[in-house]
Protein backbone atom coordinates (compact mmCIF):
# COMPACT_ATOMS: atom_id res chain seq x y z
CA UNK A 1 0.00 0.00 0.00
CA UNK A 2 1.22 3.49 -0.88
CA UNK A 3 -0.45 6.58 0.57
CA UNK A 4 -0.10 10.25 -0.41
CA UNK A 5 -0.62 12.64 2.51
CA UNK A 6 -0.65 16.44 2.57
CA UNK A 7 1.26 17.01 5.80
CA UNK A 8 0.17 20.24 7.46
CA UNK A 9 2.45 22.71 9.21
CA UNK A 10 3.25 21.71 12.80
CA UNK A 11 2.93 17.95 12.29
CA UNK A 12 5.88 15.61 12.90
CA UNK A 13 6.67 12.97 10.25
CA UNK A 14 6.32 10.22 12.86
CA UNK A 15 3.60 8.45 14.80
CA UNK A 16 4.96 8.86 18.33
CA UNK A 17 5.30 12.19 20.17
CA UNK A 18 8.77 13.54 20.88
CA UNK A 19 7.90 15.74 23.83
CA UNK A 20 7.37 18.82 21.67
CA UNK A 21 3.95 20.47 21.31
CA UNK A 22 3.77 19.28 17.70
CA UNK A 23 1.06 16.93 16.48
CA UNK A 24 1.95 13.50 15.02
CA UNK A 25 0.78 11.31 12.14
CA UNK A 26 -1.18 9.18 14.64
CA UNK A 27 -4.16 11.56 14.53
CA UNK A 28 -4.85 11.22 10.79
CA UNK A 29 -6.41 7.72 10.70
CA UNK A 30 -3.81 5.91 8.61
CA UNK A 31 -4.05 2.12 8.16
CA UNK A 32 -1.98 0.04 10.56
CA UNK A 33 1.67 -0.71 9.78
CA UNK A 34 2.30 2.20 7.39
CA UNK A 35 5.37 4.35 7.94
CA UNK A 36 6.57 7.58 6.30
CA UNK A 37 8.89 7.36 3.31
CA UNK A 38 11.34 10.12 4.06
CA UNK A 39 10.55 13.07 6.28
CA UNK A 40 9.34 16.63 6.29
CA UNK A 41 10.25 18.87 9.23
CA UNK A 42 7.40 19.94 11.49
CA UNK A 43 7.53 23.44 10.01
CA UNK A 44 7.44 22.17 6.40
CA UNK A 45 4.27 21.20 4.55
CA UNK A 46 3.22 19.16 1.59
CA UNK A 47 3.48 15.72 0.05
CA UNK A 48 4.55 12.92 2.37
CA UNK A 49 4.32 9.35 1.14
CA UNK A 50 3.61 6.49 3.55
CA UNK A 51 3.74 2.75 2.91
CA UNK A 52 3.70 -0.67 4.51
CA UNK A 53 6.05 -2.11 1.85
CA UNK A 54 9.57 -3.06 2.96
CA UNK A 55 12.33 -1.58 0.79
CA UNK A 56 10.14 1.04 -0.85
CA UNK A 57 11.84 3.88 1.04
CA UNK A 58 15.24 2.97 -0.42
CA UNK A 59 13.89 2.46 -3.95
CA UNK A 60 12.08 5.79 -3.91
CA UNK A 61 14.39 8.13 -2.04
CA UNK A 62 17.99 6.91 -1.81
CA UNK A 63 20.24 8.72 -4.33
CA UNK A 64 23.19 6.51 -3.30
CA UNK A 65 21.38 3.50 -4.78
CA UNK A 66 20.95 5.35 -8.07
CA UNK A 67 17.18 5.15 -7.81
CA UNK A 68 16.35 8.33 -5.88
CA UNK A 69 13.33 10.09 -7.31
CA UNK A 70 13.55 13.88 -7.43
CA UNK A 71 11.58 15.83 -4.86
CA UNK A 72 10.13 19.17 -5.92
CA UNK A 73 9.69 21.97 -3.42
CA UNK A 74 8.25 25.45 -3.50
CA UNK A 75 10.06 27.74 -1.08
CA UNK A 76 8.72 31.15 -0.17
CA UNK A 77 11.86 33.18 0.45
CA UNK A 78 12.80 36.67 1.53
CA UNK A 79 13.32 39.02 -1.42
CA UNK A 80 13.46 37.99 -5.08
CA UNK A 81 16.52 35.85 -5.90
CA UNK A 82 18.43 36.90 -8.98
CA UNK A 83 20.06 34.67 -11.56
CA UNK A 84 23.30 34.50 -9.53
CA UNK A 85 21.60 33.18 -6.37
CA UNK A 86 19.60 30.64 -8.36
CA UNK A 87 22.77 29.50 -10.16
CA UNK A 88 24.54 28.99 -6.80
CA UNK A 89 21.65 26.84 -5.60
CA UNK A 90 21.63 24.79 -8.82
CA UNK A 91 25.39 24.29 -8.96
CA UNK A 92 25.49 22.41 -5.66
CA UNK A 93 28.42 22.40 -3.29
CA UNK A 94 26.69 24.48 -0.61
CA UNK A 95 27.97 23.18 2.70
CA UNK A 96 25.31 21.90 5.10
CA UNK A 97 26.72 20.71 8.41
CA UNK A 98 29.85 19.17 6.88
CA UNK A 99 28.01 17.87 3.80
CA UNK A 100 28.10 19.41 0.33
CA UNK A 101 24.74 19.59 -1.41
CA UNK A 102 24.44 17.90 -4.79
CA UNK A 103 23.50 19.92 -7.86
CA UNK A 104 19.78 20.54 -8.24
CA UNK A 105 17.35 22.52 -10.33
CA UNK A 106 16.42 25.98 -9.00
CA UNK A 107 14.11 28.53 -10.61
CA UNK A 108 11.89 31.50 -9.83
CA UNK A 109 8.24 30.45 -10.03
CA UNK A 110 6.58 32.55 -12.69
CA UNK A 111 3.81 33.28 -12.24
CA UNK A 112 4.03 33.20 -8.47
CA UNK A 113 1.70 30.48 -7.14
CA UNK A 114 -1.41 31.19 -5.14
CA UNK A 115 -1.03 29.00 -2.06
CA UNK A 116 -3.63 28.56 0.67
CA UNK A 117 -2.53 30.70 3.64
CA UNK A 118 -0.80 28.85 6.44
CA UNK A 119 -2.00 28.83 10.04
CA UNK A 120 -0.09 30.39 11.70
CA UNK A 121 0.83 32.78 8.89
CA UNK A 122 4.45 33.45 7.94
CA UNK A 123 6.03 36.57 9.38
CA UNK A 124 5.28 39.65 7.35
CA UNK A 125 7.86 42.38 6.84
CA UNK A 126 6.51 45.54 5.28
CA UNK A 127 9.83 46.58 3.75
CA UNK A 128 11.10 43.15 2.66
CA UNK A 129 9.31 41.52 -0.27
CA UNK A 130 9.06 37.76 -0.64
CA UNK A 131 8.84 35.41 -3.61
CA UNK A 132 8.39 31.72 -4.41
CA UNK A 133 11.15 29.63 -5.96
CA UNK A 134 11.12 26.02 -7.15
CA UNK A 135 13.80 23.51 -6.20
CA UNK A 136 14.15 19.93 -7.43
CA UNK A 137 16.49 17.78 -5.32
CA UNK A 138 17.42 14.10 -5.39
CA UNK A 139 18.50 14.14 -1.76
CA UNK A 140 16.93 15.23 1.49
CA UNK A 141 19.26 16.16 4.30
CA UNK A 142 17.91 17.67 7.53
CA UNK A 143 16.54 21.17 6.77
CA UNK A 144 18.48 21.17 3.49
CA UNK A 145 16.33 23.56 1.47
CA UNK A 146 16.19 26.06 4.34
CA UNK A 147 19.96 25.93 4.79
CA UNK A 148 20.61 26.25 1.06
CA UNK A 149 18.37 29.29 0.56
CA UNK A 150 19.80 30.98 3.66
CA UNK A 151 23.35 30.36 2.35
CA UNK A 152 22.57 32.39 -0.79
CA UNK A 153 20.95 35.24 1.16
CA UNK A 154 17.26 34.31 0.79
CA UNK A 155 15.97 32.68 3.99
CA UNK A 156 12.98 30.36 3.58
CA UNK A 157 9.76 31.63 5.14
CA UNK A 158 7.56 28.71 4.07
CA UNK A 159 8.38 25.35 2.48
CA UNK A 160 5.98 23.12 0.58
CA UNK A 161 6.90 19.78 -1.08
CA UNK A 162 4.76 19.63 -4.22
CA UNK A 163 5.96 16.39 -5.86
CA UNK A 164 7.93 13.19 -5.41
CA UNK A 165 9.11 11.95 -8.78
CA UNK A 166 6.21 12.35 -11.18
CA UNK A 167 3.61 12.15 -8.40
CA UNK A 168 2.22 15.61 -7.59
CA UNK A 169 0.59 16.89 -4.42
CA UNK A 170 -2.07 18.39 -6.68
CA UNK A 171 -5.21 19.65 -4.95
CA UNK A 172 -5.02 17.32 -1.95
CA UNK A 173 -6.03 19.46 1.04
CA UNK A 174 -3.80 19.81 4.10
CA UNK A 175 -4.43 16.98 6.57
CA UNK A 176 -6.01 14.68 3.93
CA UNK A 177 -4.63 11.46 2.42
CA UNK A 178 -5.43 9.08 -0.45
CA UNK A 179 -4.17 5.67 -1.50
CA UNK A 180 -1.99 5.98 -4.61
CA UNK A 181 -3.64 4.28 -7.60
CA UNK A 182 -2.04 1.46 -9.58
CA UNK A 183 -1.63 3.82 -12.54
CA UNK A 184 0.22 6.43 -10.46
CA UNK A 185 2.41 3.71 -8.94
CA UNK A 186 3.31 2.60 -12.46
CA UNK A 187 4.22 6.19 -13.41
CA UNK A 188 6.51 6.26 -10.35
CA UNK A 189 8.13 3.02 -11.48
CA UNK A 190 6.86 1.11 -8.46
**Is 130 marked active-site?**
no
- HEC secondary structure over the chain: CEEEEEECCCECCCCCCCCCCCECHHHHCCCCCCEEECCCCCCCEEEEEEECCCCHHHHHHCHHHCCCCCEEEEEEEECCCCHHHHHHHHHCCCEECCEECCCCEEEECCCCCCCCCCCCCCCCCCCCCEEEEEEEECCCCCCHHHHHHHHCCCCEEEEEEEEECCEECCCCCCCCEEECCHHHHHHCCC
Whether residue 79 has a cis bond before it, omega within 30° of 0: no
Among candidate residues 41, 43, 110, 184, the one labeled active-site is 41
Q: Write out the catalytic residue numbers.
A: 41
Amino acid sequence: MLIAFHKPYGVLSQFTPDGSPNRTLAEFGFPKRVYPLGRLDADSEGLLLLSDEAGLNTRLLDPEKGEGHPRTYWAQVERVPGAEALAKLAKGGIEIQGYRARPCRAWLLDPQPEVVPRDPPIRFRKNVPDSWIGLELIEGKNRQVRRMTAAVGHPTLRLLRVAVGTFPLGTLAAGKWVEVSAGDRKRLGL
